[in-house]
């Protein structure tokens, strides 16, 4: 298994990787020997800290500030990856939401809320694959190994729960796009998705006080079959499977990583 996960000599781009799950994925890639391009749109100081931690693990890591909801931002990231002549790994992790947990309140979301969320969560991953396609194909041509794309989706896209109707809709669309592009881009590129449930990150912590967060975390753990509240590293470990040769014969998969939340009652929370 160690040989299957040796990522030395590979270049990776992880969007939205200054904090949270993206940061955890970037660090695990660096730990396995990959050179990681860290990305943020605003959190520059956090992004620099992630780069520093990746470099401490031996990675030739650097920060690229770019907004993946724009064609220019995606092009900037692709150009950064192009310095090595190919791109082996692309993780479409960047995502946003508009919090409107009462899904029956149809006035809680505007047209712009939907369009902004789609721009980052669906159009962004598509434009990243569009901008990086030639580099990903070059990886396959040079190594004989399919390049790999991982879309970070959510249980919200499978069950319709989550922070808002708009967010759940975007993740459902991302899951469908994963299937479409896995078929269309094979055999040069593998495309898969992970669908986390609850993840203990700033995604929630920034929207509530510490006591509220602790109560929610305890409630999540009590409501799922595995009786745990997942953290970023728990999901990143699964991501690493899709990004390594351990999954070399896997494409078009959307894997729930939710401690069993989908099996029974789940609170109205999701990444």
pLDDT along the chain (271 residues), means of 10: 73 97 98 97 97 97 98 98 95 95 94 97 98 98 98 96 94 98 98 92 70 82 87 95 97 94 64 48
SS3 95: coil
- Catalogue the active-site residues: 167
Does residue 113 sit within a domain? yes
147 domain residue, yes or no: yes
Number of domains, the chain: 1
How high is the pLDDT of residue 207? 67
Contact assessment for residue 17 and residue 26, using Cβ atoms and an 8 Å cutoff: yes
Pairwise CA distance, residues 123 & 102, whole Å: 25
In whole angstroms, what is the distance from residue 169 CA to residue 247 CA? 28
pLDDT score recorded for residue 270: 46
Contact, 256 vs 262, CB < 8 A?
yes
Query: Are the CB atoms for 96 and 117 separated by under 8 Å?
Result: yes
Looking at the domain assignment, is residue 210 inside a domain?
Answer: no
The answer to whether 223 and 235 are in contact (CB under 8 A) is no
Domain-embedded: residue 88: yes
* CATH assignment at residue 144: 3.40.50.720
Helical segments of 144-260, H only: 156-159, 165-185, 202-205, 210-223, 232-243
264 preceded by cis ω (within 30°)? no
User: Longest Cα pair distance anywhere in the chain, in angstroms?
Assistant: 53
* Residue numbers of the domain that contains 189: 3-199+232-258
Contacts of 241 (CB under 8 A, 6+ apart): 247
What is the predicted pLDDT for the residue at 219?
Answer: 83
Q: In this predicted structure, what is the pLDDT of residue 205?
A: 66
Does any domain span residue 214? no
pTM: 0.92
Residue 268 lies in a domain: no
Cα 257 to Cα 192: distance, rounded to the nearest angstrom: 13
Q: Give me the phi and psi of 195, to 5 degrees please.
A: -120, 85
Per the CB < 8 A criterion, the answer to whether 100 and 108 are in contact is: yes
What is the rounded distance in angstroms from the CA atom of residue 51 to the CA atom of residue 45? 10
Looking at the domain assignment, is residue 181 inside a domain? yes
* CA 47 remoteness from chain centre: 16
Is there a domain that residue 220 lies in? no
> Cα–Cα distance between 106 and 118 in angstroms, integer?
17
């Amino acid at each position: 298994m160690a040989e299957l996960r040796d990522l030395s000599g590979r270049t990776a781009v992880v969007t939205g990787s200054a904090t949270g799950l993206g940061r955890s994925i970037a660090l695990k890639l660096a730990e396995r020997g990959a050179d990681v391009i860290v990305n943020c749109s605003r959190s520059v100081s956090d992004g620099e800290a992630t780069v520093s931690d990746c470099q401490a693990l031996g990675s030739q890591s650097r920060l690229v500030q770019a907004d993946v909801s724009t064609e220019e931002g995606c092009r900037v990231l692709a150009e950064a990856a192009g310095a090595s002549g190919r791109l082996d790994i692309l993780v479409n992790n960047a995502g946003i939401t508009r919090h409107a947990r009462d899904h029956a309140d149809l006035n809680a979301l505007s047209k712009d809320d939907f369009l902004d969320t789609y721009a980052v969560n669906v159009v962004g991953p598509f434009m990243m694959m569009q901008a990086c396609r030639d580099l990903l194909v070059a990886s396959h041509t040079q190594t004989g190994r399919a390049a790999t794309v991982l879309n970070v989706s959510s249980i919200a896209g499978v069950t319709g729960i989550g922070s808002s109707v708009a967010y759940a809709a975007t993740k459902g669309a991302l899951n469908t796009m994963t299937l479409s592009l896995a078929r269309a881009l094979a055999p040069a590129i593998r495309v898969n998705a992970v669908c986390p449930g609850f993840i203990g990150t700033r995604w929630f912590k920034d929207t509530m006080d510490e006591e509220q967060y602790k109560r929610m975390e305890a409630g999540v753990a009590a409501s799922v079959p595995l009786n745990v509240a997942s953290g970023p590293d728990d999901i990143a470990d699964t991501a690493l499977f899709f990004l390594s040769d351990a999954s070399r014969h896997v494409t078009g998969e959307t894997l729930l990583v939710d401690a069993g939340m989908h099996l029974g009652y789940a609170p109205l929370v999701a990444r």
